[in-house]
Structure 1
């Protein structure tokens, strides 16, 4: 009993640390933009600094079931690395040029609703009436959250929100489509392969559109790129995996709502971002709607 409660306590701590660290990414991106770095270069720094670690993991951890893996499976890994980490990150970094870090996290938080919708569209998995209402309430919460921002920034807020929504869609597509590959490769192995593939995509993107002045930025840009790679990408991915192993996916999902809250708090202290009472009300609606969708989805499984 003591060992079980101890493992649960450690799992809760790991879950909280992982979610909070993931939420620091948007704040660090906004801080880096103050030094006039473009989104492609910043994304290259983030992925480039993390690449050696993921290559090491790929060599250290072999696939769980190598005999079941075919060449087409590696092709799918490349595809999902492109969609789930390259496109999702690209849209996210682009959107953060237009909206607050706190609002970005609220939109990204709705990805479980997108997972449900994509599963319904492409895999004919049913949606209950309560899930439908929860999804509608969630998107109503997003509209409420953005209402004040649209009044202030106009089209910029709409465009930034749309880009972040595309990020949520591409990440959800990655989760829906890649589920059958993870048992073959293993979580760490699959993640590492997908991250390596996405880094290659970022490198190709930079080769076509970058300014090739990677050594001309202030030291803060490199420090923030390294911090994003370690503290907002690599370390929390391991913390979350360890937390899920101890708590289970259903219990871990409870801590997901800490993401938007911690981002808003961090953005308040580091970016001087202010969130209105209406936006807080909208955030509560979003968290409630997503939590209800997630609970119903877990119950069905």
Structure 2
């Protein structure tokens, strides 16, 4: 038995990091469950996301102001890129995601979003002529086969507008992949915390402004249940997962944290069955296993 204090500290860091990555993935995935619960109160996607961002904005605004204490001069081009990153990564992606959730199951939504790394790979092929290896091609075939299985399962169960919902969530995944592609240079300049807080503030303002512009002011007068669920969505499914994931990456690295995040689609599947009475069938489990296997193969590629 190794009793070296450094070994014990390292082991504790690893386990705590793994726990943080897992908790962050489960909480972030749970936003789909919370959104489904909120839709039962006749909310639309515009109002739902406005409430989510209104409650999370104060937290990210405080973080952004704290980051501003360390001045950093950005060029005009970098400022425009930051605006674009905020609008594509957190505004457009989130809006399309919540819009699609009106039509498809939480389990299918999470699996489609889990394909984001594959779109990053596609963008790399198109923009940078990146070569795709056999391992990556096999991983993509596995993942998309799994999506097709779960998609056909939802169609079989007679869900309305499944094609529309899946297309909207697919758009959300593409939008977030575009954000990841754009954010590389900014991440190096700003750091993770500053970039995320700035981008979330931009997205929050956009979501709240959209709601104020196209919805009557009366939509802000909602039952207590909507307020509490929206507060949970903002703090525990948006703010907390961001910090848990960042702390996990600091302890165990991005690759391991990403692999731990694979618990997300599985947790959504079973949370959906528990809280939303969404069916869990063998086809769904098989499809989920295929998607996770494909993304795992991509994550292990050096």
TM-score, structure 1 normalization? 0.94
Q: Which moved more, 1:128-137 or 1:44-53?
A: 128-137
Helix, strand or coil at the partner of 2:103: coil
| Map of 1:77 onto structure 2 | 82
Match for residue 41 of structure 1 among 44, 47, 50: 47
**Structure 2 unaligned spans of 5+:** 1-6
Match for residue 224 of structure 1 among 206, 214, 229: 229
Match for residue 20 of structure 2 among 14, 19, 25: 14
Helix, strand or coil at the partner of 1:127: coil
Match for residue 245 of structure 2 among 229, 240, 265: 240
Following TM superposition, by how much is the alpha carbon of 1:65 offset from its aligned partner in structure 2, in angstroms? 7.6
Following TM superposition, by how much is the alpha carbon of 1:208 offset from its aligned partner in structure 2, in angstroms? 3.0
Following TM superposition, by how much is the alpha carbon of 1:110 offset from its aligned partner in structure 2, in angstroms? 0.9
Distance 1:285 1:183 in 2: 34
| Map of 2:212 onto structure 1 | 207
Helix, strand or coil at the partner of 2:277: coil
- Whether the 8 Å CA contact 2:106–2:272 is kept in 1: the answer is yes
Distance of aligned partners of 1:202 and 1:51 in 2 relative to their CA distance in 1, 3 Å threshold: same
- Whether the 8 Å CA contact 2:270–2:280 is kept in 1: the answer is no
Distance 2:22 2:157 in 1: 33
| Map of 1:125 onto structure 2 | 130
Match for residue 282 of structure 1 among 280, 287, 295: 287
Match for residue 183 of structure 1 among 170, 188, 204: 188
- Whether the 8 Å CA contact 1:18–1:240 is kept in 2: the answer is yes
- Whether the 8 Å CA contact 1:148–1:279 is kept in 2: the answer is yes
Distance 2:61 2:129 in 1: 37
Matched, 1:294 2:263: no
Distance 2:199 2:26 in 1: 23
**Structure 1 unaligned spans of 5+:** none
Runs of 4+ in 1 over 3 A off after TM superposition: 62-65
